[in-house]
Chain A
């Protein structure tokens, strides 16, 4: 097991280096002069040169890459050419917002996706099954952007049940930063006002972000449960008089979870990528919007940082998923 993890960590490191080279190359060979854009539309050539020199854009690409990677090893993600902010400082601001949203969304998707999948399989061809199937098809088909706006119009603008966007109300100060997850910080510091307010803000965006994943998990879990429920060992357990609830919740579900776990790993990655739409609609100050705004202005340092951090995160989650297989099925061996 230890050897397997070591091998996977090594492969993650190699993949990250490859990823950094690709992103660096793509961001630097794209049309547009970042120094010119950063200097402003009216800047003189001398002003553009000042920026070019300050950000070492006058050096050959290979030198720039090596210098960037050297900084990265020391934990320095560089500075944004667009805003002159330290990228790491921006990451500390925007990453927790995205992770909080994704974490709530994926938890919601897993809990309800598995629940709906099981119910749908157990009550096959009843109204519960039909509803769950309708729900899951809709979830995959509806564009997140549209769903977000519709929910905003209905629940925020029409019924005033939820706020329109953001992480907190305008007049509420951010909680003392401990984890930078407002829900957690609100709880830890006993600031119930912040917790309640943060919760009300996260419900709509988290629901929208979780919808496609919830649908996929429901579908795959339903299919697996149906297959497992017809296996011999389930029949055997039934013959032994074990209660149906125990058979479903413990034995059948555990066997059906392996493909679901794979789907969760994949969906997590898609969620990270999908945050941009949700963050835009709900003015969620996360990394998605930050990355796109940076990419549009050829601001390569933040783009590099976001790609590397999200890439690393995705790889680690998938490592956890792979390790989870062993937990669910003792027959899985790691070599």
Chain B
């Protein structure tokens, strides 16, 4: 009897609680009549200082809060003048002169002048952090000259063909605001990590680290808005699980998401309230092979591996949303050519090369290292394991956390036989990819092949300093085919970049030069 009463009490409590909770409503996208988009992604952006950080989540917010002289737009990415009205370079490619627009204003109303541009570039160069590596070899503070309030000149130490391509990531800050918040001579670094001093289309509203970042549209943005239905606000919400992102989107708590796994993307596309974009990206996936140590030192073994691999299986792993690489450069990038000497599975050739290396029946072991947690990399490793087993080669698949992988890749002695690596070119210039095969990339994760070919290094240097594009184009053609021939890497695939949006969200413009899940918020609008 007592037990029954107790059970009834508990049941009553549960019913009351369920009723109580169930009456609440979740998921808003409007506040005071303003239309706000909620974007879900996994990666936080703990530091938005343009002189200190530039990873994709940071850059997405920086792009909204700040403006740069130039901006990347569309696919293939074009450089369009932004704070600059026009610009020209000298014949020797060393002097670049920019005319600024006169109506650009920082969020506090101060005009964006050549002095502010100079100060911003000087700050990034002095701090020598974040994006500084892009220009630090070519530009020093003495080379920046203010001609008048709206004209600025950059005198490079040596010609650098990709100079203009780097400029979209060098944002212009308001020196007055930054220096007003300087502490102990830190150039405002402490303050700028979660504050902004820009002139971009959005300003900060709510900043809750580890939870969300809210931006509100600057109604009288100096550049104007592309659509009268532009969004009034944008919330970047941190959601760490693909399953939660999918649930949030389907439930309407989120209006746009990135970072879903392939199966979740394929599932949400069936939802009538959701659409999914699907564009070939520039993020290359390859297996870097240590060319200076172990079995992979022998070019014949590297070629045997390249011929043994079942390339189309990678497309299957991505549910068909990927294309195979046929060059060290991503398809669509300036200077890209499909290499005639590309490798595809041919077990007969693989065995020939293995015999040439003196191991006709294999009989040795290779190590395949990938970033733990990246399921696609693990599956690709399993495919390779199966392929190499047919040659009598044993593959040892080793997951490593990112710091350990970077540490292993930093020295010839420790660099694995095969390292699974994704790389996204940050600029639309072939130099940024070619340089991965230059000695200067040794020690970096994408240089874990320790590829040595002095002729290629000279060509990369020459192409880098040649101002004339036609001359460069020829050089890059040779660079691509030679690298393919030397096989320092098993060139894999380029996976499609996908985002899922709820139907009313329009205006998304894909640009492959944007990293991972980065989108340009400025053109987004809502169609009810």
Contact = CB atoms under 8 A, between A and B. Distances in A.
A296 interface: yes
B253 to A, nearest CB: 6
A285 B211 contact: yes
Interface string A126-168: 1110000000000000000000010011001101111111110
Interface stretch (A28-36, A99-107, A251-259): A28-36
A150 to B, nearest CB: 10
Contacts of A34: 403
A132 to B, nearest CB: 11
Contact of A37 (B28, B128, B212, B406): B406
B407 interface: yes
A164 B209 contact: no
A128 to B, nearest CB: 5
Interface stretch (A169-177, A221-229, A313-321): A169-177
Interface residues of A, number: 64
A123 B3 CA distance: 8
Interface stretch (A61-69, A82-90, A303-311): A82-90
A33 B47 CA distance: 20
Interface string B25-55: 0111101000010100000001100001011
A281 B42 CA distance: 12
A296 B18 contact: no
Nearest to A131: B7
Interface of A is mostly: loop
A119 B129 CA distance: 63
Interface string A30-57: 1111101101111110110011000000
Query: Contact residue range for chain B?
Result: 35 or more
Interface stretch (B239-247, B269-277, B336-344, B389-397): B239-247
A289 interface: yes
Contact of A31 (B24, B54, B404): B404
Interface centre among A119, A157, A203, A283 (most CB of B within 10 A): A283
Contacts of B244: 152, 164-165, 281-283
A176 to B, nearest CB: 14
A152 B239 CA distance: 14
A46 B27 CA distance: 47
Contact of A156 (B251, B404, B446): B251
Nearest to A196: B24
A93 B209 contact: yes
Contacts of A80: 46
Contacts of B137: 44
B361 to A, nearest CB: 35
A169 B26 contact: yes
Interface in A70-92: 80, 82-85, 90
B283 interface: no
Contact of B193 (A84, A196, A281): A84
A218 interface: no
Contacts of B129: 39, 47, 50-51
Nearest to B24: A200
A305 to B, nearest CB: 15
A164 B26 CA distance: 10
A308 B382 CA distance: 41
Nearest to A297: B403
B445 interface: yes
Interface centre among A34, A171, A173 (most CB of B within 10 A): A171
A128 B7 contact: yes
A197 B25 CA distance: 9
Nearest to B400: A31
A24 interface: no
A87 B88 CA distance: 46
26 contacts: A30-B404, A32-B403, A36-B410, A37-B406, A40-B55, A40-B133, A46-B136, A47-B132, A80-B46, A83-B47, A83-B193, A128-B7, A153-B247, A160-B26, A163-B253, A164-B247, A164-B253, A165-B248, A167-B211, A170-B38, A171-B28, A174-B208, A199-B21, A200-B21, A283-B244, A289-B210
Interface of A: 30-34, 36-37, 39-44, 46-47, 50-51, 80, 82-85, 90, 93-94, 119, 123, 126-128, 149, 152-153, 156-157, 159-167, 169-171, 173-174, 196-197, 199-200, 203, 280-283, 285, 289-290, 296-298
The 7 closest A-B pairs by CB, nearest first: A32-B403, A83-B46, A171-B28, A285-B210, A31-B407, A32-B407, A157-B247
Given A51-B129, A285-B211, A289-B240, 20 more contacts: A32-B404, A34-B403, A42-B134, A46-B136, A83-B47, A84-B190, A119-B3, A149-B243, A161-B21, A161-B22, A169-B27, A170-B27, A173-B206, A281-B244, A282-B244, A283-B239, A283-B240, A285-B209, A296-B401, A296-B402
